[in-house]
Every structure is written in C-alpha cells, then in structure tokens.
C-alpha cells in the first residue's frame, strides 16, 4: 500500500534496494542529459580578438598579396583600382564555395582553391570553378598610430554592392 506521508516518500525512494536502484538510474539519466546539454556549450574562448594590426600602408607593395596573416584568415592586398586608385583591402581566406582555404598563385596571379578548383582574381572576384560569389572583404582602417587595422567583425560582400563602402578599403 502506498504510504502518502512525507517520510513515506523518502522511504519509497531510498528505503528499499528497488527504490535505490530506480533513484540511481533516474539520477544518472538526468546527469547524462545535463552533461549532453553542457557539451553543446564548449568551455572555450569564443573567438580570438577580431581586430588586429598588420603594419603601415607603406609596408605593402602595389600588386602584391601579403600572405603573412593567412592564419588569421586575411590576405592584405594592395592594388591600383581603376576607379578608386591605390587601395589596400583585406580579403577573407575562406573560399565562398565550401570553405576551404585557397592558395595565392603568384605566377598565375590568382587565388586557387585546392578542394574544387575555384579561382579568384587578385580583387577576390570569382572567375573559374564553382565558387558562387567573390571572396569576402574585412573592414580595414588606419588606426590612430598610422597602422592598418583589420576588423573581422564586419564583412563586405561584392554581390551585395558592399565593396563601395569606404570601410572596406583604405585609400593610400
């Protein structure tokens, strides 16, 4: 007969071996569920700082792609743009097709992705292979100390007409 008093409840869940077994099972199942939920939020630093300085504008040569910041997901490129003149911009190193990291091929003057063969011009515009849109550009500005500062928290996409935004390049 079920004992409906407060002590009876405790006796039911801890008083018999059968009760202890079920209680332990419930507790461990609940623990596992909580652990699984906790697993979805890894205990890691979310992002390295999104802003970093890459040097003075005079450090970059016109027509050159700077590979030094590739592990920070940026190529620093200085070109002579027909409309804007001498500009520096920061290209994202993530292929817009499926997210591999392309390589800059100096001899062929193009970024070429090793995964599916997408090719991008020095401007980041896609011209061969399956990549559906140009590489993205990061925000770039001249900081107070005169160095270039890339800000990866803002991105600019050509197909949305965002490359005209003065934040997406630095005029030299």
Partner 1 sequence: MHTATQLAHSVQIGLGVFYLFVALMNVGFALYQCYAANNRRQGIVWSLVAGVFLVHSLAYFAGANWIISAGFRDFTTQVMGYYGGQLGPILYTTVSIILFVLFLRYRKFFTEPVVAWSILNLGLLAAGWSLTDDNFRKIITKEDNVPIVMLIFSVGFFTWLPFRRAVLNDERMANGEPPMEKEEEEKVLVWPDLVYTEMIAMIVCTFVLVIWSVLLKAPLEQPATTAKAPNPSKAPWYFLGLQEMLVYYDPWMAGVVLPTMIIIGLIAIPYIDFNQKGNGYYTFVERKFAITTFLFGFIVLWCTLIVLGTFLRGPNWNFFGPFEYWDPHKVLPLNNVNLSDYFWLPLGVTFPEGQGIGGILVREAPGIILVLLYFAALPPLLAKTIMRPFFIKMGFVRFFLLINLFQFMAALPIKMVLRWAFNLKYIIYIPEYFFNI
Q: For residues 143-172, which are near partner 1 according to CB under 8 A?
A: 158-162
CB 124 within 8 A of CB 137: yes
Q: Which of 101, 122, 125, 151 binds partner 1 (CB under 8 A)?
A: 101
State yes or no: residue 130 binds partner 1 (CB under 8 A). yes
* Shortest distance, position 144 Cβ to partner 1, whole Å: 29
The DSSP symbol for 129 reads S
Residue 82: CA atoms inside 13 Å, Cβ hemisphere, count?
A: 1
61-73 per-residue burial string, b: 16 or more CB within 10 A, e: under 16: eeeebbeebeebb
Q: Which of 78, 97, 137, 152 binds partner 1 (CB under 8 A)?
A: 97
Residue 56 burial (CB count, 10 A) = 12
* Shortest distance, position 118 Cβ to partner 1, whole Å: 8
State yes or no: residue 71 binds partner 1 (CB under 8 A). yes
Distance CA 51, CA 74 (A): 11
Q: Footprint of partner 1 on this chain (CB under 8 A)?
A: 70-71, 73, 93, 97-98, 100-103, 105, 107-108, 112-117, 119, 127-130, 132-133, 158-162
């Amino acid at each position: 007969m079920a004992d409906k008093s407060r002590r009876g409840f405790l006796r039911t869940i801890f008083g018999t071996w059968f009760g202890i077994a079920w209680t332990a099972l419930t507790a461990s199942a609940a623990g596992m569920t909580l652990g699984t939920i906790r697993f979805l939020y890894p205990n890691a630093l979310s992002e390295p700082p999104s802003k970093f300085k890459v040097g003075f504008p005079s450090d970059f040569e016109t027509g050159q792609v700077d590979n030094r910041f590739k592990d920070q997901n940026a190529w620093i490129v200085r070109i002579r743009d027909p409309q804007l003149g001498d500009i520096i911009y920061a290209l994202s190193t993530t292929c817009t097709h499926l997210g591999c990291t392309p390589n800059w091929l100096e001899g062929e003057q193009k970024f070429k992705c090793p995964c599916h063969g997408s090719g991008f011009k020095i401007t980041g515009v896609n011209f061969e292979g399956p990549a559906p849109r140009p590489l993205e550009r990061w925000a770039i500005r001249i900081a107070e100390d005169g160095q270039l500062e890339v800000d990866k928290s803002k991105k600019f996409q050509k197909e949305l007409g965002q490359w005209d935004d003065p934040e997406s390049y630095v005029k030299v």
